[in-house]
Copies of this chain bind each other. A is one copy, B any other.
Amino acid sequence: MNKNHAVTAQDVATKAGVSRAAVSRTFTNNGSVAKETREKILKAAQELGYQVNFLAQGLNRKRSQLIGVVVARLSDPFRSRLLEGLLSEIQNKGYQALVTEIGNPKDLEETIRRFTQFRVSGVVVTSGQPPTGLVKECVQHNIPVVGINRHMDIKDVDFICSDNQMGATLAAQQLIDSGCHKLAWLNYKESTWSGVSRGEAFRNAIEQKQAEQVLNLIQITALQDGYEGGRSAAKLFCRSDERVEGVFCANAQLACGFLDGMREEGFDAPRDFHLIGFDDTELTAQYSYRLTTIGQDIEETAARALSCLEARGRDATTEPRFEVVPVKLVLRNTSPALFC
């Protein structure tokens, strides 16, 4: 077999009877190598089982083919779907994902620091509010940063975001067309930027429609996030005297919880009210929920994120982008299609 020691470019060079510079060139498609030489090298490498040492390569280039990904609460199906999409895109582009989960936003600092220590080629933030200072550090280190479904006022950071405006408008349209007049917006008390932004867009959409007919919009606030938050919100809501005909939720987990909470209280959709959630996940499609949702285009989002990273990697002074990815209305049982 092979010697116990890992096989290096020098080994290949020796075996092929060339310099190790030539080996490097063939493997990085960088300099020019005579076709014949190249083949000799490839053959030798093959036989020896040579593989580039990424650590050494990165050290030299001052840049690894690693991409840092910041995630949180993977138990939320949407978040894990997003991670899945990112992983797939990252791998397709020939990078490797360095994934860090942050429990509380404070961890983000240490995380990003770690990323820089690995000289990552880019950082994707899908959770937490990147502390401005830290991101600046990345920018200083010349590491591109892209945020997904969030926004901050930081120079030189790109953002990819689902079209909350469009989503809210589609939802409002659907609810109103279904004949709902008493509408509600359900969101978590300490919602992220995404949630807030969806709420504002929904309110705006409703206000526009108010020119044509009388509409009523209330706000339901969940004290927790996720499924349980939605569920308790529903129970609390039922105990109030308010009634509502159409509900739009900041995310799918909240929506599923709300639906279940209402069911526990004896109400159901679409019989007693209509319900639309943001984030189309496997869960929302399941028979017991069949939630009408706003579907985000995860593949597109991931693709654009990577493309931002690469663009800014090439030229750090690119004009910061804020890209909006179209969403679509996925009609299911909780607010069914209209047959007019």
Quote the shortest CB–CB distance from A258 to chain B (angstroms): 11
Q: Are A54's CB and B101's CB within 8 A?
A: no
Q: Are B101's CB and A87's CB within 8 A?
A: yes
Q: Are A263's CB and B283's CB within 8 A?
A: no
Chain B: CB-nearest residue to A253: B282
Tell me, in angstroms, the Cα distance from A99 to B62 when the chains sit together.
22
Q: Identify the A interface with B (CB < 8 A).
A: 1-2, 4, 6, 51-56, 58-59, 62, 64, 66, 74-75, 77, 80-81, 83-84, 87-88, 91, 96-101, 103, 113-114, 116-119, 140-141, 227, 231, 256-257, 259-261, 263-264, 282-283, 286-289
Which residues of B are found within 8 Å of A59, using beta-carbon distances?
53, 55-56, 59
Tell me, in angstroms, the Cα distance from A64 to B64 when the chains sit together.
13
Tell me, in angstroms, the Cα distance from A35 to B197 when the chains sit together.
53
Selected from B51, B101, B140, B259, the residue in CB contact (under 8 A) with A84 is B101
Q: Are B75's CB and A64's CB within 8 A?
A: no
Q: Are B88's CB and A84's CB within 8 A?
A: no
Tell me, in angstroms, the Cα distance from A287 to B66 when the chains sit together.
41
Assuming the A-B contacts A53-B59, A117-B54, A119-B55, are A80 and B91 also in contact, with contact meaning beta carbons closer than 8 angstroms in the complex?
no
Selected from B51, B100, B114, B119, the residue in CB contact (under 8 A) with A117 is B51
